[in-house]
Structures are given as C-alpha cells and as structure tokens.
Amino acid sequence: MAVLWLEDVDADDVGTVGGKAASLGELIGAGLPVPPGFTVTAGTYRTFIEEAGIDEELFTAVDVDPEDSAALREAEETAAELILETPLPDDVRQEIVERYRAMGDDGDEAFVAVRSSATAEDLPDSSFAGQQETFLNVREQDLIRRVKECWASLFTQRAIYYRQQRGFPHADVDIAVVVQRMVDAEKSGVMFTSHPSTGDPQITIEAAWGLGEAVVSGTVSPDNYVYDRERGAVDEVTVADKKVEMVKDAETGETVTLEVDEERRNARVLSDAEIGELVELGKRVEDHYGTPQDVEWAIYDGEIYMLQSRPITTIQEDSGDGEEGDAAEAAEGTTGESDASDGAAATNGGDDDVLVDGLGASPGVVSGAVRIVHKLDHLDQVQEGDVMVTEMTMPDMVPAMKRASGIVTDEGGMTSHAAIISRELGVPAVVGTGNGTRLLNDGQNVTLDGDKGTVRAGADKDAESGEEFEPVEAARPETPVKPMTATEVKVNVSIPEAAERAAATGADGVGLLRIEHMVLSLGKTPEKYIADHGARAYQDELIEGVRRVADEFYPRPVRVRTIDAPTDEFRELEGGEGEPAEHNPMLGWRGIRRSLDKPEPFRQELAAFARLYEMGYDNLEVMFPLVNDASDIEGIKRHMRESGIDPETHRWGVMIETPASALQIEELAAAGIDFASFGTNDLTQYTLAVDRNNEHVADRFDELHPAVLQLIGDTIETCRELGVDTSICGQAGSKPEMVDFLVEAGISSISANIDAVRDVQHEVKRTEQRLLLDSVR
C-alpha cells in the first residue's frame, strides 16, 4: 500500500509513515479535529528507487567527502535529478491522485499541504529531521512533483554533509510524505497548554488573522491570551496591532501577505467562547499525551482545527524523545596540525615586496600559498596552511577559514565579519585591501602580516606556516597568576568554538557573546529556519552555541546579546529574498528595532535564554543591541516577561551604540537596566557618520575621537551616580589608550578580543596603580 489515510495510522507507525504523519494520526485517533489527509509511506519511496534501479547510483553519487563543498553541491544536484526525472510507476501515481481527488469538495480541486515526514529512527536529530521540504497550497497538477521533491530533500547538501560526517549510511534513511487538506484559516495561531518555561497550569494562546505561517514565522505580532487553568478563567488579554495577514490568493492559490483592514487591525481575534473551546482542546491533547503541548491551530468557518502538536520540552530538558532530541555535539577536529610545507625558497621580504595592504585585523605573521575564493563552491580549494583571499568572508566559510593560515579580504573594516572571526580563530588577517582578489594570484607564495596589515611576496623564514599554530596555548597567560585588577577584564566571543581559547585567557567573564554567527551559519533566515524546522529547533541551535560558552565560563558571567544583523546580511541566506532593500542597512532595520517590530524570532531567542536559566545557567545576562531610548525598554521588558525571564530578578542591560542612547542614559537607567555596555564600533560610526565597514573611510574611523570619548565619559559618570554598571564591548576596548581613558573615567568592566585580553589586563593594572599613586602623592 503506497498510501494510508491519516486516520489509519498512529504513534506506533513512525517507522512506516514518519513522525509528522504518525502524530497527526494519533491526534485523529484521540478524537481531535485534524484536517483530513493521507500519507505516502516511506516504503513507497524505497520501492520507487529500488524498482527503478536508481538506488545504487543514488547512494554512490552522494558518498562524497563532506568537507568538499563542490562535491556536496554536485551530489545534491545528481540526487535531485535522479529522483525527479525518473518516472513514478503508474499504479503508485494513480493511488496518490485518487486519494487526493477524494479530498476535493464536489468536484472542486482541494488545496493541500505536502510535507516531508521523516522516519524518527533514522533521523534521531531534530536539527536534521527538520531539513526536509514543505509545500503549501498544492493542487493536482503539481502534486506528484512535490511529493518527489520531498523525497529529493533527503539529499540536500546539508543532509548529505550530516550523514557523511556521522557515518550514517544514506541507504538506511527513508522518508514519508503527508498530503493534507489546507485550512483556509480565518484566524490561527499557537497554544501552549502549560507555561512554556515554568510549567505552571496556565494556557497561553497567540492568535492572528489569516494563516498560521504569519504567527509562526513572526511576520505579525499576535494577540496574546492567558488562561489560568486553576481558576478556570481568562487572566490576561493583550490585543496586538496586527498590521498584516497571510492568506491564500483566490486566483493563483499562492500564499500572499496583505494589510489587515482598519476594523480588524486592532480588534480582538478570539472571543471568550473561542478561547474556551481552544482551552478544552488544549487540555484534551495534553491529557492524551500526558505532557504539556505546543499546538498549532486554525479556525475556519467556525470550526477549530489542530494542525500540529509537539511536546513542550522547555520546562525541563528532555533528550529521550525521538524527534526532539538534542543536537549531538559536533566534535571539532583540531586545526593546523598537518605537515603543510610551503616548499618555496625563503626570500627575505622588505617593504618593497608589499603586494597589497589593508587593515591588520588579526595579529600574527604567516606564509603560505594564495587561494582566491570567489564563491562557495571553491571553498574546498582552501587547504591546510593556505592564505585564503576573498572579497568578504561569510559564515559558511568558517571551516575554510580554520584551515587557512591567514585571511585576506577586499572589503570590510576592523569590525567586519572577517576581522572578528579571524581574531577569534586566532588566524592572522588583513582586511579591506580593496583589490586583494585581483592583485594576488592563485598559488603564489606570500607572507601576511596581521599586525602591519600587509601581504608581501614570497615566504618569510621567520613567519609561521600555519601548522605550528596552537590556538589555546597561544592565548593562555604566560603566568598562571593574572594581574588582579579592580576593573574587571572580560572577553568577547562570537563563535562558540572559540569558548575554550577565550576562557583560557583568564578573563573575568564574557562581556559580549554575539549570536549572529550562530544564526547566520544556519544558512537560513531565522524566520525561514523556524518555518521549516520549528521554533524549538531554532532555540536548540542557540542553546547549543550559548551553552558551550556558558559552560566554559561558569560561574563567571556571560553577557549574551540578542540578534543584530543588518538586512543585507540576512538577504544572503535562504529565505532572505523577502528582506527589504535598504539604501543604508547600517541605519536600517537591525538590532532591537527589528526584534520589536518582528518579535517571533526575538521571542525564540528569549525563550532559548529562558530555557538556559531553567537549566541552571544563572551566569547568563541578556543584553539588547541598538536601543535608543526608554520606549525600547518597555517592549524589551514585556517580551522578557512573556518569555519567562523576570527582568527584576535576572541581570540584563543594553548596548550604548547610538548617541541617542548615551544622551538618554538617565531614562534608560530609570527604566531598570542593570548595565550599559559601549558598542564603540557602532557608537563611533553613528557619532562620526563614518561607515564602519567601508575601507574608503577607514582612516576616519576613530574611536578615540573627542566626541566619542565625551559621550562615553558622560555616560559613565551618570551611570556611577545611578548605580548602573558600565562596560565596553566594542573593538576599542582592546586599545590601550581607550583602556586608560575608561579606567580613569571609572568604568566597571572592559571586554576585549581574545588576543588582547592579556595586554588589557596589564594595561588596566598599570592605570589603576597610577591612579592610586596619584591620589597619595
């Protein structure tokens, strides 16, 4: 039987119909209202590839070196071609189409959702299980192709990479497909049958107009209803301004986003009666499973439908559950240990040999062969010890950046992705050369000086050649006793892999843990990631990264910041097509502005932090980027509370990155912040109107400009009067002159780059001693 009605399957059928179909069948069996549908069993996929005789070819095609990105891409293409171009036997096609037609109304074609349903034993890892495709509003003419596209999504580059890396045979993986009638929701949303972080008997319902995608992807701020199960009453109703809704376009059948008409925009979505009905369903589904559930629901023509139900495991870490299990720790190999030899005759480079110059972004002198990298598919060319030369680095270049002995970019300033990541990887780098990719030649031997910002011809005998590099040792203080300073010296971290190096510096904590890299390296925008894999999987990714750092430092404090990536960076990702085109992304929709406007990904970040608090990471402090004034704080506090983080009991604070925030510090303090941290990368660019990433004005980017110092000095003074801690986490915190100024001004802590921590510790000590001496002299 190639297909089974959903009502004929249940939780025991995960092996034949996959997790999604099994759980929908289970809900139907429990008498809950689920839109009708059927599943194309995993066996159908298997029989298809075997009987068509493409199985061997398929599995051989995808058996590639996972670190070879060109091979991965080719494997994905070959697999898709094999699956999509091999015809499906007529009898199977017939069976699928017949079931589909049976779902139509009086001859009207049904609109269906076609979703992959991974078989849980084979795909134990949620970060993987969610990789497969989903298609909405599909009709008969596209049905078979969509089913096959679901099958082909077993062989995306990421899925192949994952299985190859873990030695998981491709032949052991199966996939089923769910074909389910779409509900033309008039209203929809999600429901937590208990409090998602405390487990209290409180049902939370979020609701918006139109299709649920708008809520799940965070396109709209939904209404929020809280129901107290003990008192049996609605406790709180927060009506949101629902600017848009997603609906099916009557003509094309595609999902479109429309503005909500005036009357409904600020109107309540759910009546008390509807809340009552949802609450009843919520209780039934929780009773059925015996654990609190996270339910997606929709209302059409007065009927409530349940679209999905998953256990809420935020309350307690639960790794025993098939689909929800923790992503396994990816064991990282050590870098730079091969016996690469540059083989070139050593020449002694004087300054005349300078081929290109730029900004010395990460210190160290190395020699190696140039590898020009224009596109992702060339990344595999970067071998251990090469000098990687590219326009600008991207999050998915990190594996290649780790193999490289040095990094050169055309674009970017001292605070660009390339600069930040190379410093943390401990790989010397020169950024913003303008023309490195044009002037340097592939295979040419060069010496890169990450202090001076130069690339010279030839190999330098004094330079390291990559293989001797020992990241942890290099960062460890020479003496086990670090200088004791009254001003705390912390460290900045942007990639979780750098946690160990960062902790080895003896820093007093993490002054800034950026999550942008963790998020961008997922390859999808947060909205797309959540839509494809669920909010829970997104939280899991964040938790995995943050935890790695929080563990390394515990009990020293770790300040984790909510996301701050500009739209042009999101646009590079899958799902980024819809990002607004901005003339000035630096001045645009980024940081807390975006988070408050589009709270769904933001709330998942907070939910992840709330889960970390639940797990006992009481050393976490949440920090918010790019705030301007106290009105931002109101929104921040509301979202913190709603995500289960009590702003009164947890320490949290804001970045001071705009002149406005520095000038509004009294209001920010009155609004309840515990600390303010100077983001001098942005504060400098916004004070001086100098784009931080533009190499043409890099010489004007001066964090020590008197205007910047005045804003910082005044803010510290006010904060001292008001009992608010101050810190710096911008790149300037690694500069001795800035350190002197800040210690003298009375800053509470300084957070530096990994490579600078030791020097900053000494500089702070020197300044503190001088101040003490001055006071007694």
Q: Which active-site residues does the annotation give?
A: 417, 729
User: Does 681 sit near ligand PEP (CB under 6 A)?
Assistant: yes
User: Does 112 sit near ligand PEP (CB under 6 A)?
Assistant: no
User: Does 507 sit near ligand PEP (CB under 6 A)?
Assistant: no
In DSSP terms, 447 is beta-bridged to 367, 456
Q: Which is nearer to Mg ion, 299 or 627 (CB)?
A: 627
**φ, ψ of residue 192 in degrees (nearest 5):** -105, 125
User: Does 562 sit near ligand PEP (CB under 6 A)?
Assistant: no
Provide the minimum distance between the beta carbon of 627 and Mg ion in the complex, in angstroms, as a whole number: 11
Closest CA to 84 of 110, 58, 109: 58
Q: Which is nearer to ligand PEP, 26 or 508 (CB)?
A: 508
Provide the minimum distance between the beta carbon of 655 and Mg ion in the complex, in angstroms, as a whole number: 6
CB 255 within 8 A of CB 137: yes
- The site partner of 415 among Mg ion, ligand PEP, none (C-beta below 5 to 8 Å per kind) is ligand PEP
Provide the minimum distance between the beta carbon of 710 and Mg ion in the complex, in angstroms, as a whole number: 19
Provide the minimum distance between the beta carbon of 546 and ligand PEP in the complex, in angstroms, as a whole number: 16
Closest CA to 726 of 742, 710, 705, 702: 742
DSSP string, 674-715: SEEEE-HHHHHHHHHT--TT-GGGGGG--TT-HHHHHHHHHH
Cβ-proximal residues to 441 (8 Å cutoff; 6+ apart), any chain: 370, 372
Q: Which is nearer to Mg ion, 682 or 763 (CB)?
A: 682
In single-letter form, the type of residue at position 418 comes to A
Q: Which is nearer to Mg ion, 436 or 679 (CB)?
A: 679
User: Does 418 sit near ligand PEP (CB under 6 A)?
Assistant: no
C-alpha torsion sign, points 530, 531, 535, 536: negative
Report the alpha-carbon distance of residue 747 to residue 749 in Å, rounded: 6
539 sits in which H/E element: helix 535-553
| Number of residues that this document lists for the chain | 777
User: Does 187 sit near ligand PEP (CB under 6 A)?
Assistant: no
Closest CA to 752 of 682, 687, 697, 677: 677
- The site partner of 410 among ligand PEP, Mg ion, none (C-beta below 5 to 8 Å per kind) is none
User: Does 632 sit near ligand PEP (CB under 6 A)?
Assistant: no
Q: Which is nearer to Mg ion, 136 or 747 (CB)?
A: 747
List residues binding Mg ion (CB under 5 A). Answer: 657, 679, 682
Contact range with ligand PEP by CB under 6 A, out of 9-17, 50-58, 210-218, 673-681? 673-681
CB 495 within 8 A of CB 424: yes
- The site partner of 729 among ligand PEP, Mg ion, none (C-beta below 5 to 8 Å per kind) is ligand PEP
Provide the minimum distance between the beta carbon of 625 and ligand PEP in the complex, in angstroms, as a whole number: 6
Provide the minimum distance between the beta carbon of 657 and Mg ion in the complex, in angstroms, as a whole number: 5
Q: Which is nearer to Mg ion, 269 or 512 (CB)?
A: 512
555 prior amide bond cis, ω within 30 = yes
User: Does 524 sit near ligand PEP (CB under 6 A)?
Assistant: no
Provide the minimum distance between the beta carbon of 657 and ligand PEP in the complex, in angstroms, as a whole number: 5
Which tokens sit at 572? 């590079």
The interface mask with ligand PEP, positions 638-657, x = CB under 6 A, is -------------------x
Rama region for 241: left / alpha / beta (φ>0; ψ in -120 to 50; rest):
beta
CB 516 within 8 A of CB 502: no
Q: Which is nearer to Mg ion, 455 or 623 (CB)?
A: 623
CB 553 within 8 A of CB 492: no
Residue from 197, 314, 335, 415 in contact with ligand PEP (CB under 6 A):
415
Matching residue, tokens 């107290």: 228
Report the alpha-carbon distance of residue 81 to residue 99 in Å, rounded: 26
Q: Kindly identify the residues of this chain, within the stretch 716-735, that bind ligand PEP according to CB under 6 A.
A: 729-730
Report the alpha-carbon distance of residue 252 to residue 501 in Å, rounded: 54
Contact range with ligand PEP by CB under 6 A, out of 17-25, 251-259, 446-454, 674-682? 674-682
- The site partner of 514 among ligand PEP, Mg ion, none (C-beta below 5 to 8 Å per kind) is ligand PEP
Binding site for ligand PEP (CB under 6 A): 415, 512, 514, 564, 657, 679-682, 729-730
